[in-house]
A and B are shown apart, each in its own frame.
Chain A
Amino acid sequence: MIPFIIRRLLWMVVLLLVISFLTFVIFYTLPAADPATLRAGRQPSPELLATINHTLGLDRPWYIQYLKYLERLVFHFDFGYSFQNNISVKSQIFDRLPATLALATGGALVWLLVGIPVGIISAIKRGTWMDRVAMGSALVAISAPVYWLGLVSLYLFSKDLGKLPLFEGQGAYPNSGNIFTDPGHVIPALFMPWCVLAASFAAVYARFLRGNLLETMSEDYIRTARAKGLRERTVVFKHGVRSAITPIVTILGLDLGILLGGAILTETVFNIPGVGRLAFDAIQKSDLPTVQGTVLMGAFFIIFLNLIVDIVYAFLDPRVRY
């Protein structure tokens, strides 16, 4: 197990290097706005542009830039400074991370709490009205785009029908407190974003678990469990659900990894300045260091959570041992 983890961690470093290189290459080969022009303001003089290019290091060949970037990253854990406003990319990411973290993990909690019971009930009561209602709603939830669902629920539950609390206005979420320092204040306001984010995931998980459980319930070992004379409740939960739910760990790891890299749509609709918004803005403004930083961070989360998934899986399924 330990050698496996070490091997995987080394692979993670290699992968992150490849990803940073690709981001760099893509940034330089694809047409993008000139960072110096964006930074210089209106009608800049050529001299000003040259100075800016020189300060940002953009006048050197791209491979030198890349090596310089790597050097600072590896030896100083320094992600560089934003082209846009000279703020350290690292501090920018760490400022934004709590919001994304709170949004993604809270959302995951909601979709697990909804998706898993719904999936189990649908499978056990297959073909009944409960199953039909659950799977019908799941289809709606999967089909509804997040921005649409977000705007509709904003209108309905914040203004019209309900009065769910939200922090309103630009920058309201970061300024209204941190979920870790002031949970009583922040959690209610995150409730609606969580639900909107969780809707399609809950639907996918419910359908996935339903299908999985139905398949598991026709396994030979379920027949054995019944032949032993176990109570049906034990058969379903201890033998059926236990097997059917294990693959959920895999997709949860992947989904969470992707969301930690930024839930752009949800963050945009609810004005929550998370990492996703940071990355999105940076791409629009050709802010290479910030793009590079957010991409690396997102990749890190995906790879890292995959490793966690593999480790957890070994504990869940005794047939998997490294």
Chain B
Amino acid sequence: MALLEVTDLKVHFKTDDGIVQAVDGVSYTVDRGQALGIVGESGSGKSVSSLTVMGLTRFAGNAEISGSIVFDGQDLLSASDEEMRRLRGNEVAMIFQDPLSSLHPFYKIGDQLVEAVQAHRDVSKAQALDRAVEMLGLVGIPEPRRRVDSYPHEFSGGMRQRVMIAMALINDPKLLIADEPTTALDVTVQAQILDLIQRLQRELDTAIVMITHDLGVVAEVADDIGVMYAGRIVEYADKESIFAMPEHPYTWGLLKSIPRLDSPRGEELVPIPGRPPSLINKPAGCSFHPRCPYVRDAHKRIDPQLAPAAEAGNGGAHKHEVACLLPGQSRRALWAALRSGGTPDQALARVDVPDTVVDKDAVGEVLAPAGTEVAEGVVATAQPEPPTEEGAS
């Protein structure tokens, strides 16, 4: 049984401007000791989904949460506040992006760690402090016995994040959620922290959900990767498949926008045009369509859902799903063109992307708003032409 099973999770925030659909139907599972990477831009809902697992979105007061989160056999969405409190920091722990603002500036490191122990264990302060010193040693703080008396501002950024990790792991949680743990750190310290997380994961056999916008980070840590866009997972696969044969244009964009050692000299990085969509008024159809270079008319009216990828990665041994309406053949051809160094425009020139044929398995909700002339065209193109030959093998 999976340690964490998130099914069709939706988190909507009611605001004065409208309903913010921060998370809009996300499903994933994490097994014991496994590491899942969730990748996406700011505002893709990756943090909110994890905060909801921790029960922290409850404090917002305006969150509407639906779907299900099952952790270790326990349904977390129906758990009481007190049950969630017992779980937090004990079974599920979390580390955050900015280690300076995440530690209380007025209390000594040791006191903050002791507090974390005593929230869940009935131990004396001295025992809790011993545990704190042990954990600080484990995360590589020199002279931990002396440093427990320091205040957060007396630590460097990397050291503070080590303290946060020590605090998160102090009660031996089964799951560690790391929300952009290295974003606020400089690159050399980033590598140290990632090494530390990986080492502790191996030693303590903790499952990890790593949230980041940095594909380099997940490449280092994660076994499986979910790519999130506008509150949904648009592509999900094991790490090798995501990097070797990604199928979603958004994943292509992410990969093309980071430099690679093996890419030809002089090749320019291609940014993804535009900005992430408003989560209050999401684009109709595929949420990525306003920024997608390969968009076809039908994509604007059909909501894609996750479907098995055209390329069954690793002989079908691993799950590889993608929410894209492009026919599987076109996706493979486009990525092949992009991978050999082409820009999206060059890829489009080489690959024929059909106007009307969509990946049948990926067809989700079909929008047919009444009274608009284009609406009927959509339904017409989407329904009578089942693109069977393009479906996943």
Binding site for B on A (CB under 8 A): 219-221, 223-232, 234, 239, 242-243, 246, 316-319
Query: Is A318 in contact with B105, judged by CB distance below 8 angstroms?
Result: yes
Once the chains bind, are A318 and B119 in contact (CB under 8 Å)?
Answer: no
B351 close to chain A: CB less than 8 A: no
Q: How far is the CA of A179 from the CA of B209 in the complex (A)?
A: 65
**Interface residue count for B (Cβ, 8 Å)?**
29
**Inter-chain contact B88/A221, CB cutoff 8 Å:** no
| 29 A–B contacts, CB within 8 A, in A order | A220-B98, A220-B101, A224-B102, A225-B104, A226-B56, A226-B59, A227-B54, A227-B89, A227-B93, A227-B96, A227-B168, A228-B119, A229-B86, A229-B87, A229-B88, A229-B89, A229-B90, A229-B116, A230-B85, A230-B89, A231-B119, A242-B106, A243-B105, A243-B106, A316-B106, A318-B151, A319-B105, A319-B151, A319-B153
Query: Are B56 and A223 within 8 A (Cβ)?
Result: yes
Q: Mark B80-113, 1 if CB is under 8 A from A, else 0.
A: 0100011111100110101001111110000000
Nearest chain A residue, comparing its CB with the CB of B55 = A226
In the assembled complex, the CB of A222 is this many whole angstroms from the nearest CB of chain B, namely: 9
Interface centre among A228, A230, A316 (most CB of B within 10 A): A228
Question: Is the C-beta of B120 less than 8 angstroms from some C-beta in chain A?
Answer: yes
A228 touches B105 (CB 8 A): no
Known: A220-B98, A223-B56, A318-B153. A229 touches B120 (CB 8 A): yes
B115 at the interface (CB under 8 A from A): yes
- Kindly provide the distance from the CB of B115 to the nearest chain A CB, expressed in whole angstroms: 7
Tell me, in angstroms, the Cα distance from A246 to B106 when the chains sit together. Answer: 10
Task: Contacts A246-B106, A318-B153 known; list 12 others, CB within 8 Å.
Answer: A221-B101, A224-B104, A224-B164, A226-B88, A227-B89, A227-B94, A229-B116, A229-B119, A230-B89, A316-B106, A317-B105, A319-B105
Bound CA span A227–B85, Å? 8
Question: CB-CB contacts of B229-253 with A at 8 A, as 1s and 0s?
Answer: 0000000000000000000000000
Query: From residue 115 to 174 of chain B, which have CB atoms closer than 8 A to chain A?
Result: 115-116, 119-120, 151, 153, 164, 167-168
Residues in B neighbouring A225, C-beta threshold 8 A: 104
| Distance A136 CA – B167 CA, assembled complex (angstroms) | 42
Would you call A221 and B86 a contact (CB within 8 A)?
no
B166 to chain A, nearest CB (A): 12
A112 smallest CB distance to B (angstroms): 20
Contact partners of A230 in chain B: CB under 8 A: 85, 89, 115, 119
The residues of B that contact A231 with a CB separation of less than 8 Å are 85, 119
Q: Select from chain B the residue with minimum beta-carbon distance to A226.
A: B56
Identify the closest chain A residue to B90 (Cβ). Answer: A229
Q: CB-CB < 8 A to A219: which residues of B?
A: 101
Q: Which residues of A contact B106 (CB under 8 A)?
A: 242-243, 246, 316-318
Residues of A contacting B103 in the complex (Cβ-Cβ under 8 angstroms) = 221, 224
Residue from B81, B86, B87, B96 with most neighbouring chain A CB atoms (10 Å): B96
Q: Which 4 A-B pairs have the closest CB atoms?
A: A229-B89, A220-B101, A229-B88, A228-B89
For A316, the closest partner residue in chain B by CB is: B106
> Is A223 in contact with B102, judged by CB distance below 8 angstroms?
yes
Which chain A residues border B115 with CB–CB below 8 Å?
A: 228, 230, 234
Minimal Cβ-Cβ distance residue in A for B59: A226
Name B151's closest neighbour in chain A (CB-CB): A318
Q: In the complex where A220-B96, A318-B151 touch, is A228 in contact with B104 (Cβ < 8 A)?
A: no
Q: Do residues A221 and B102 form an inter-chain contact, with CB atoms below 8 A?
A: yes
Enumerate chain A residues within 8 angstroms of B164, measured Cβ to Cβ.
224
Give Cα distance in the complex from A316 to B205, angstroms. Answer: 40
Binding site for A on B (CB under 8 A): 54, 56, 59, 81, 85-90, 93-94, 96, 98, 101-106, 115-116, 119-120, 151, 153, 164, 167-168
Complexed CA–CA distance, A243 and B152 (Å): 15
Contacts of B153 in A (CB 8 A): 318-319
Of all chain B residues, the one with the shortest Cβ separation from A230 is: B119
- Among residues of B, the one whose C-beta sits closest to the C-beta of A240 is B104
**Cβ contacts under 8 Å, B86 to chain A:** 229
* B101 surroundings in chain A (CB, below 8 A): 219-221
Nearest-Cβ distance from residue A141 to partner chain B, whole angstroms? 28
Q: Which residues of A contact B168 (CB under 8 A)?
A: 227
A227-B93, A318-B151 known; A220+B85 contact, CB < 8 A? no
Residues of A contacting B119 with CB < 8 Å?
A: 228-231, 234
Min C-beta distance of A8 to chain B, whole Å: 23
Contacts of A223 in B (CB 8 A): 56, 96, 102
Residues of A within 8 A of B54 (CB): 227
Chain B residues whose C-beta falls within 8 Å of the C-beta of A234 in the assembled complex: 115, 119
Q: Is the CB of A228 within 8 A of B167?
A: yes
In the complex formed, the residue of B with least CB distance to A127 is B61
* Most chain A beta carbons < 10 A, residue from B105, B106, B120, B153: B106
* Chain A nearest Cβ from B299, distance in angstroms: 38
Partner of B104, one of A221, A226, A246, A316: A221
Of B54, B103, B115, B120, most A-chain CB atoms within 10 Å: B115
A230 to B102, CA, bound (A): 15
A228 touches B88 (CB 8 A): yes
Report the Cα distance A223→B86, complex, angstroms: 15
Report B-chain residues with C-beta under 8 Å of the C-beta of A316. Answer: 106
Q: How far is the CA of A242 from the CA of B119 in the complex (A)?
A: 19
Complex Cα–Cα for A226 and B102 (A): 11
Shortest CB-to-CB span from B179 to chain A, Å, is 10
Residue of A nearest to B94 (CB): A227
- The CA-CA distance from A243 to B105 in the complex, in Å, is 9
Are B88 and A227 touching (Cβ within 8 A)? yes
B15 to chain A, nearest CB (A): 14
Give the most central of A223, A229, A230, A243: most B CB within 10 Å: A229
Query: With the chains together, A263 CA to B281 CA distance in Å?
Result: 57
A312 nearest CB across to chain B (Å):
14
CA distance A239 to B104 in the complex (A): 7
Is the pair B102, A220 in contact by a Cβ cutoff of 8 Å? Answer: yes
The winner among A224, A226, A318 for most chain B CB atoms within 10 A is: A224
